[in-house]
Structure 1
C-alpha cells in the first residue's frame, strides 16, 4: 500500500514540475508572455496602419503554397488538425524557438519575435471579413501562443543556465546546459497539451465557425 501511495505521489509531483518551474521564474514567464502576445498585437496594429503589409504577407502565403495546402486540408477536420499541430510544433516550436536556442543562447527568442510580428501583420483585421474571422480565431491565438510562451521560457532558462550555471546550481556551463535542456523538456509537456487543444479548436473554427460568420 505504501509503495502504491508513493508511486501516486511521485506521479503527481512530476505532473506539477512544469508549474513549479513557472512559479520559480514567474517574472521571466510574464516577460515571455508580453513578447509573445505583445509583438503579435503590434504586428496587427502595423497591418491596420499599413494595409499593404498585410496584402504582401497574404501574397507570400499564396506564392509559397501555404494557402493551397490549407485549402487541400480543409476537407477533413482531423487531417487539418494534424497539419496544424505539425506546423506549430516543428516549424515554429522546434525550428524557430528551441533549435536556435540550443546553438546560440536566447537566439530562439529573437527569431520568434520576428515571426510573431509578421503573424500579427497577417492577422490584422483590415476588412470586415478579416475582423469577423478574428472573433473565433482569437481563442486559437490565445491557446497556441501560450504554448509558445512556455517554450520561450524554456529557451530563456536554457540560455541563462548555459551562460550562468551558478544560477541553477550547476558546476560548469556543460552541466548548466544539460539542466537547461531538462527544463525545456518539462515545459514542453504543457506546451504539447496546448498545441493539441489549439490545433483541434483551430481546425473546428476554420471549417465550421468562420464560414458561418463570414456568410452572415
Structure 2
C-alpha cells in the first residue's frame, strides 16, 4: 500500500515538467470545450445527442436510482472506455496516440458539461469537483503514456540500452501511474454518484426552487 502512494509520487516528481504540461493541456481543453458549449449551444446539444445515440443516457437513467450501482457504472465507463480504451491501449501501440485521442475527448467533455440552464449551473457546483478528480486521474494515465512513448523514442531517458528494455521500464511506470489513477477514479465515481443522486436535488430545490 505504501508503494502505491510513494512510487507514483516519485514518478510525478521525476517527470514534473510533462506532468504540469499535461495538466495544463487536459484542463485547458475541457475549459475550452465548456466555453465553446456556452458560446455555441448547438455544440452542447450535439454532444448530448451523441450520448443519447450511444445509449449512455439510457444506461445512466437505468442505474441512477441505485447510488452504489450508479457509482460502479461511472467507474466502469471512466476506467474502460476512457482510461483503457482511449489512453492506455492506443499508447501501447503508437507512441503518444492516447494523448492525442484524449485531447479531443477532453474538448467534447467540456462541450457536454456546458451549463446551459439554471439547473445545469447548479449541477456544475458539485460536478466541478468531479471533473477535477477524474481529470487528474486521466492526467496520470497521460503521463504514463508520455513516459512510455518517450522510452520508445529515447531509451536512454530511462537508463536503458535497448528499446525493448526501455519499453518494459515504461510499461512498469505506466502500471504504477494506472494504479494511482484507478484510486482517483474510484473517489471520483463515489463523489459523482453521491453528488448527483443525493446532493444535487437539495441544491436545485434550494437555489433554483421546486420544479413544476
Q: Does TM, normalized by the shorter one, top 0.5?
A: yes
Q: Is 1:48–2:59 an aligned residue pair?
A: no
> Which residue, out of 190, 196, 202, partners 2:192?
202
* Cα distance between partner residues in 2 of 1:13 and 1:140: 26
> Which residue, out of 133, 146, 154, partners 1:143?
133
SS of match in other structure, 1:134: helix
Change (3 A) 1:12 1:70: closer
* Cα distance between partner residues in 1 of 2:75 and 2:2: 27
Give the C-alpha shift of residue 125 in structure 1.
1.4
> Which residue, out of 26, 30, 46, partners 1:36?
26
Q: Is 1:166–2:156 an aligned residue pair?
A: yes
Normalized against structure 2, the TM-score is what?
Answer: 0.94
Q: What whole-Å deviation, never above 9, does each CA across 1:27-81 have from its counterpart, x for those lacking one?
A: 0000111111110000001101100110111112112211111000012111111
> Which residue, out of 99, 117, 120, partners 1:130?
120
Query: In the alignment, what sits opposite 2:166?
Result: 176
Please show how residues 1-216 of structure 1 align to structure 2 within 5 Å.
Answer: 12=2, 15-215=5-205, 216=209
* Cα distance between partner residues in 1 of 2:2 and 2:62: 42
Change (3 A) 1:13 1:52: closer
Normalized against structure 1, the TM-score is what?
Answer: 0.92
* Cα distance between partner residues in 2 of 1:125 and 1:194: 24
Please, which runs of 5 or more residues in structure 1 have no aligned partner? 1-10
Query: In the alignment, what sits opposite 1:4?
Result: none
Q: Given that residues 4 and 179 in structure 2 are in contact (C-alpha distance below 8 angstroms), is that contact kept between their aligned partners in structure 1?
A: no
* Cα distance between partner residues in 2 of 1:95 and 1:12: 28
Give the C-alpha shift of residue 15 in structure 1.
3.8
Structure ID, larger Rg: 1
* Cα distance between partner residues in 2 of 1:17 and 1:188: 11
